[in-house]
Amino acid sequence: MTDREFERGCVPSCVDENSSNINIHQCCNKLNVYDWLGDINDPLGQKKYVEVRFKNTRKGIYENASDLQLQVGDVVAVESSPGHDIGIISATGRIAMYQMQRYKTGKDAEVKKVYRKARPTDLQKWQEAISMEVPVMLRTREIARMLKLTMKIGDVEFQGDKTKAIFYYIAEERVDFRELIKKMAEEFRIRIEMKQIGARQEAGRIGGIGPCGRELCCTTWMADFVSVSTNSARLQELSLNPQKLAGQCSKLKCCLNYELSIYLDARRMFPENIVTLKTKQGDAYHIKNDIFKGLMYYEIRINDIPVIRALHVDKVKEIMDLNKKGIFPDNVFESEKTGGRANISFKEELNSDSLTRFDTASSPSKNKKRKKHRNKNRNQSNEKE
């Protein structure tokens, strides 16, 4: 029995069927939970609630009503509707309580129970259920195509006792899949549950590597999704290029919201209405902003040549107030080329921190003495020969 047959969101390194434990040191990080309290010996820690991981990113909080000695990696049989399901313990103790708060599961809410540790017969039936998932998914796609349904079957997850299967699908419009369920029930002889998910949830279930070089956020740690708009990219002065702003789900990247609040705080010092600046040199048109340096870049024609210059925000506000009074300032862009800062050339910057500044240069007199000494030694060796 290979280890890959027990893969449910993580790649197990070894499987011990006798103790019903799966070693997951080489985890693929699909909503992985790091127990940062594992080194603390807490004899009074809670053992009532545990977190159980199923296929891909599906997880749940369950009650350990029988006071079983459970640890991370144990395969357990849990309550389901109908029958029972098989999952892997992913968190225990105080970390499970924190996960309970993250999922917004109240203490008064009805929590399903953990029945027992999985038996060898449970593991065998679980293995058979896992092996059926890919063929059933492909066959379901064929049936949906035959019925001309505008939907995509993204994933299939069988329950541990092989009595029920969850079909995850994506559809832009409302789909009448009653005929599809009839044909599936006749062919597969199981209870069927259709669950619609979005493109972001599908990307989280499949997983992948983002352009940043890390695993997708929706796979590793995101439990809920917040809407992302193009306004988030615009406020951060990003290029509105759909190919760069879209993730693997073809939607706007979730990470566009991570630094948005910082940019909103920094933009408070900038004027709300950006207008063309009137000067005696000509009209200056706004190009872009440097949020954290407090600079605003304008394009102006100097001697019929378009030139881009940077002005500090305070200077821009001052010029806007003068324009409202009908005053056009002179020599604005010549004195504010770098936003009121010292103009440092590239060569000066390199020379200030030279790579050879710690090397001791030898004086020319010492070099001459060394050369004379070498020549004397050579002449003496020639005379001896």
- List domains and CATH numbers for the chain: 3-119 (no CATH), 126-201 (3.30.300), 226-269 (no CATH), 271-335 (no CATH)
Q: How far is CA 26 from CA 9, 216, 374, in A?
A: 11, 17, 65
Backbone conformation region of residue 27, classed left if phi is above 0, alpha if psi is from -120 to 50, else beta: beta
Q: Which residue stretches of the chain have pLDDT < 70?
A: 1-19, 23-28, 43-44, 106-108, 334-385
Q: How far is CA 97 from CA 56, 63, 272, 375, in A?
A: 21, 11, 45, 84
* Spatial CA neighbour of 61 closest among 9, 108, 116, 111: 111
* Spatial CA neighbour of 285 closest among 277, 296, 293: 277
Question: What is the model's pTM?
Answer: 0.71
The rounded distance, in Å, linking the Cα atoms of 116 and 18 is 14
pLDDT in tens, 220-260: 888 788 889 999 998 888 888 888 899 988 899 999 999 99
Identify whether the C-beta of residue 299 lies closer than 8 Å to the C-beta of residue 308: yes
- Can you say how many angstroms the Cα of residue 46 is from the centroid of all Cα atoms in its chain? 31
Q: What is the pLDDT, as a whole number, of residue 380?
A: 59
Peptide bond into 82 cis (omega under 30): yes
Q: What is the pLDDT, as a whole number, of residue 347?
A: 47
The rounded distance, in Å, linking the Cα atoms of 290 and 281 is 24
Identify whether the C-beta of residue 203 lies closer than 8 Å to the C-beta of residue 218: yes
Contacts of residue 188, defined as CB under 8 A and 6 or more positions apart, other chains included, come to 136, 165
Q: What is the pLDDT, as a whole number, of residue 164?
A: 93
Write out the two tokens for 3. Answer: 């280890």
Q: What is the pLDDT, as a whole number, of residue 101?
A: 84
For residue 161, the tally of other CB atoms under 10 A from its CB is 17
The rounded distance, in Å, linking the Cα atoms of 233 and 256 is 7
Write out the two tokens for 293. Answer: 């340096």
Identify whether the C-beta of residue 220 lies closer than 8 Å to the C-beta of residue 32: yes
The rounded distance, in Å, linking the Cα atoms of 331 and 165 is 74
The rounded distance, in Å, linking the Cα atoms of 358 and 363 is 15
For residue 128, the tally of other CB atoms under 10 A from its CB is 12
Q: What is the pLDDT, as a whole number, of residue 337?
A: 47
* Spatial CA neighbour of 232 closest among 262, 260, 199: 260
Helix (H) / strand (E) element for 266: namely helix 260-266
